Amino acid sequence: MGSKANKRKNNLSTLVAWIMAMAFLLTACSTGEKTNTSTNENSERTEKNEQEVTETVEQEEPKAEETATPEPAIEPTPEPTPAPTPDTESTLPGVEWMQSFNGIIEEPKLVVFNDENNKKIIIKDSNQEVEFYDDDTLAIYIPDNNGKVVRELKFEDSECYDSVVIFKNISSSIMRDGYVSATIVDIEFDGKPMTLYCYLKLMGNP
């Protein structure tokens, strides 16, 4: 009886040990599967995230290129070309020099010149004062010869050329020695009356 009881007890212990071993193995397998599943899921998630990041970078790259495109340079506005003016240093004789005004000056002008010393002064303002010696010449420029002198009282001699009328030999009855004489010339230009003014500071002989 004692022997059978011991044998049965041993068999029971073996069975319990076997069952525990099987349970341990099953638990280990289950944990391994879960670990593998979790690892696979993490791997797939990582790959998916990397793919999404790559796609995002690829989509953003064109924007970076657009931002990097330089703006077109703004060219400076060219300064207006100044209107041509007669060369007062020209060595042309006074009459020829004044005839070159055509196409440059478009309104009548009073001019003082002297071919002996190359003096050339264009009177631009009716209040302008100019030193005038006895051998100087007062002249009137009339653009395109489109006019005439109507009256001038101070000079004894006058000559007419294309677009130019000159006056010489101011009357000896007019005081010299720096006397400032208001000079008025009535003309007709483009069919309309016009009056030109200037102040000649009469200096006498040079």
pLDDT digits (tens, 9 = 90+) for 75-109: 777 777 666 788 999 999 999 999 999 999 999 99
Given a contact cutoff of 8 angstroms between Cβ atoms, the answer to whether 98 and 166 are in contact is no
The Cα–Cα gap between 155 and 168 comes to 6
Read off the pLDDT of residues 125-171 as tens digits, 9 standing for 90 and up.
Answer: 989 999 999 999 999 999 999 999 999 888 999 999 999 999 999 99
- Predicted local distance difference test score (pLDDT) of residue 70: 72
**Pair of tokens at residue 132:** 């005038």
Looking at 69-84, list the stretches that DSSP marks H as alpha helix, in order from N- to C-terminal side: none
Considering the entire predicted model, what is its pTM? 0.61
Given a contact cutoff of 8 angstroms between Cβ atoms, the answer to whether 184 and 199 are in contact is no
The Cα–Cα gap between 182 and 44 comes to 107
In the three-class reduction of DSSP (H, G, I as helix; E, B as strand; rest coil), residue 161 is classed as: strand
**Pair of tokens at residue 88:** 């007062």
